[in-house]
Amino acid sequence: MSRVDDELARVVREGEAADPATPGWAVVDARRGEASAENKPRRRFALLIALLVMGAGILTLVFTNFKEAAIYSKGVDQLIRQRNQLVRRNVNVNGTLVKGTLTRRAEPCEYRFDLQKNGARVAVRYAQCIVPDTFRDLPYMDVDVTATGKLTPQGYFEANHIMAKCPSKYEMKARAEHGSVIPASAIAPGSRN
């Protein structure tokens, strides 16, 4: 160990005696070190300002576009009561299909029907050729429908998507047992006992 200590002491002496201008030695400018120390807070402040501006821009985009993207969910009665506030806004409207109002036009494809809830009624237009299998005008059963779209200034609801609640086989079986007339073709296969 004394040999390692002796060698280390020799290297330190040589380092102290060496000229800093010789190759392998770096000259440190104290003024440059001070200048970069002064610039660090400015850089951090500039970065903070840039991040705040970007954050404010993102929040502005979110809040200005959020109103258009929001989808309200209302019953037919609520839609009619709030007609003025909901015109041309995205709405999910819930109601029951009014029996006998479902019609289909072939060219251009369009379904028209009325929905009702709590005594209020709205005409619906659905400009599509295909509807869900569960969307039928059944004389022996109420069909609950949810339509997504916009209420027009003319007073009808322009739907771009519809869903009809499919009655379960248990509901249909219970209605049959309580005397409601349900044709055998309406009962799901395998649900009869």
Highest mean pLDDT among 8-22, 41-55, 157-171: 41-55
pTM value is 0.54
- First-to-last CA distance in the chain? 98
Distance CA 10, CA 167 (A): 96
At residue 4, what are phi and psi to the nearest 5 degrees?
-65, -40
Task: Provide the token pair at 27.
Answer: 């000259």
Distances (CA, A) of 149 to 12, 22, 89, 91, 97: 83, 81, 8, 6, 16
Residue 157 pLDDT exceeds 50: yes
Give per-residue pLDDT as tens, 42-91: 888 889 999 999 999 888 887 777 666 667 788 899 888 888 888 888 88
Q: Name the 3-class secondary structure at 93.
A: strand
pLDDT at 133: 80
Longest dimension (CA), the chain: 113
Distance CA 27, CA 36 (A): 16
Residue 135 or residue 121, greater confidence: 121
Side-chain half-sphere CA neighbours of 189 within 13 A: 0
Distances (CA, A) of 174 to 5, 67, 116, 190: 99, 44, 24, 15
Beta bridge pairs of residue 150: 90, 158
